[in-house]
Structure 1
Amino acid sequence: MPKSYYLPGDDSGKAELLELLASQLPMYAEQLGLTAEDTSEVQADAEAFRYTLAVLNQIQNSSKQWTAHKNILRDSDTGGPVPSFPPFMEVPAKIPAAIPKGIVPRLTRLVARIKSSRNYTEAIGQALGLVGSIKSIDPSSWKPELTATLEANHPQIAWPKGHADSLEIMVDRGDDKGFVPLTITTSPRYSDTSPVPAHTAVWHYKGIYRLKDEQVGQWSNVQSIAVGG
């Protein structure tokens, strides 16, 4: 069976691969004809990239807290408890050394050198995380990741299609009806053109993949968005 590409598509996976190489590559460097500079470079890249992801995650979480706080201050009814300001984020104290841009191009060039070495084996590749897994399609594990944005005051629901035929979307408009069917769409971007209320309301969306006219996998996490007002 075919194997997947060794390099993960997401940032977290790339960071994990860099960290694995940073820890394991020194043991194979001489055998593979690599220099101390090669191993030091990948170690610096791994540390800098992980630090960047950690700080970015803190900033994004802080942004969500402050956005929610801003919305409460702006839109909530008067009276009641006075909301406290969210705490300020704390940047990790240890800042790694600055590195040149181009982590992934450096990584792929290094991997090409490793795999072209006459001493390279699949066992070494497995130890370094450079051998992709065997591809298999298991619809039972599929779970769509929805995003909800507002355009012309109407929610836009985006989703990655992958190997699915379509997406079934349900909506809860906060009208005590709970989640009800909205649509089955093959477009990776669906516009909910239902009339929006005059007052501010929060609509909630969830979706599940469909394959051969049947639901497969798991329901997505619920995505919520404010409309109207």
Structure 2
Amino acid sequence: MPKWTVRPIDGGKGLPPYKIFFEFLVIQDKTTMPTSSYMPKDDSGKADLLDHVAATLPKYVVTLDISAEDLASHQADAVAFRYGLNLHNYAQSYAHNCTAAKNLLRDGGTDATLWPIPPLLPEPIPPIVKSGIIPRFSLFVTRLKAHKNFSPAIGQDLRIIGSAYIIDPSTWKPVLSSLVQAGHPTVVWTKGKASAIEIWVDRNDGNGFVFLIIHTEPNTPDPAPLPPPETSVVWKYKAIYRYHDEQVGEWSDVLSVVVGG
């Protein structure tokens, strides 16, 4: 930042009786940028990390002296958090369907008016765990890193060293599943590090796959009009992740959902 000083001088005819001088202060910034945190900021990313550690940790139980109780505790936490996240996403989808039904009742439309059916708890229901999964996981990671046998290679494999985990969007491939609410399918997916997901649908009407939506948060209800009563049809969905507003990675496997009937 420049330091301004004013010094009086004899300006002479037609000149101001002062001049402005600059004195630049050189400031050396010695702040070191910290490495990025291994902990994702969003819940979907946290669930993915917990799942990955739960699946990868068993091969290090001897190297890092991980007890059977600690391993079982973390694996139970991972399952419980994923289940809780899915319940949250199902509830959001149900809320979306409630809004659509309310708007249809209010404004009219071509679709049949049906009361949305509240989501049922998906089976199997995991045992409840003690609250504070993420703080507990962070303490567990701190213990692992303090072990004499811990190494950067192990940290990279477990994805608990932030700067060492390289994001490679070219390897991303969505995994789709479905949930049906009041006859309408909801495409279930996880976000991970992606910015959004792009979903296409084939309604078995001869048009093949057509663009459906770009969605930034799981999950994605399909509010399209349902087939006539007592008629069933197979709708197919495929999706690809988006990152920095571009398609990345591979297309998902095709998800088939029977609608109507």
- In structure 1, the residue matched to 2:227 is 197
Say what the alpha-carbon RMSD is for the aligned residues. 4.1
d(CA) in 1 for partners of 2:212 and 2:188? Answer: 14
| Residue 216 (structure 1) aligned to one of 248, 251, 254 | 248
Among candidates 161, 169, 172, match of residue 132 of structure 1? 161
Task: Tell me by how many angstroms 1:131 deviates.
Answer: 5.3
Structure 1 position 171, deviation (Å): 0.9
Q: What is the one-letter code of the residue matched to 1:204?
A: K
Deviation at 1:147, TM superposition (A): 2.8
Please report how far the alpha carbon of residue 224 of structure 1 lies from its aligned counterpart in structure 2 after TM superposition. Answer: 1.8
- Tell me the equivalent position of 1:14: 54
Q: How does 1:89-168 map to 2 (within 5 A)?
A: 112-113=142-143, 115-116=145-146, 120=148, 123=151, 126=154, 132=161, 134-168=164-198
**Residues 183-228 of structure 1: per-residue CA shift (max 9 Å, x gap):** 2333433322222212111211111122344221111222221111
| Structure 1 residues 130 and 21: alpha-carbon distance in aligned structure 2, compared to 1, 3 A threshold | farther
Cα 1:181–1:25 shift into 2, 3 Å: closer
Alignment match, 2:3 = none
Q: TM-score, normalised by structure 2?
A: 0.47
Residues 98-143 of structure 1: CA deviation (Å, up to 9, x unaligned): xxx87x89886565445456xx365388399695361333222222
Alpha-carbon spacing, 1:110–1:168, altered in 2? closer, same or farther (3 Å): closer
Q: Is the CA contact (8 Å cut-off) linking 2:56 and 2:158 kept in structure 1?
A: no
Distance 1:210 1:131 in 2: 25
Question: Secondary structure of the residue that 1:227 maps to in structure 2?
Answer: strand
Query: Does residue 177 of the first structure (1) align with residue 207 of the second (2)?
Result: yes
- The CA deviation at 1:166 is 3.0
Equivalents in 2 of 1:129, 1:212: separation in Å? 26
Q: TM-score, normalised by structure 1?
A: 0.53
**Residue 2 (str. 1) matches residue 36 (str. 2):** yes
Q: For residues 23 and 187 of structure 1, do their structure 2 counterparts lie closer, same or farther at Cα, with a shift above 3 Å needed?
A: closer
Please show how residues 8-87 of structure 1 align to structure 2 within 5 Å.
9-11=49-51, 13-17=53-57, 19-25=58-64, 42-43=67-68, 46=71
Q: Please say which structure displays the higher CA radius of gyration.
A: 2
- Shift in alpha-carbon separation, 1:135–1:202, aligned structure 2, 3 A: same
1:218 aligned counterpart, secondary structure: coil
Structure 2: which amino acid aligns with 1:4? Y
Aligned partners of 1:15 and 1:49 also within 8 Å: no
Secondary structure (helix, strand or coil) at the match of 2:242 reads: strand
- Which structure shows the higher helix fraction? 1
Q: Please identify runs of 4+ aligned residues in structure 1 that moved more than 6 A.
A: 47-50, 104-108
Q: In 2, are the aligned partners of 1:148 and 1:157 still within 8 Å (CA)?
A: yes
Q: CA distance change for structure 1 residues 204 and 47 in 2, over 3 Å: closer, same or farther?
A: same
Report the AA paired with residue 161 of structure 2. Answer: G
Q: Tell me the number of residue pairs that the alignment of Structure 1 and Structure 2 aligns.
A: 163
CA contact (8 A) 1:174 1:203 kept: yes
The 1:3–1:223 alpha-carbon spacing in structure 2 relative to 1, beyond 3 Å, is: same
Q: Which runs of 5+ in 1 are unaligned?
A: 27-38, 51-100
In structure 1, the partner of 2:239 is 207
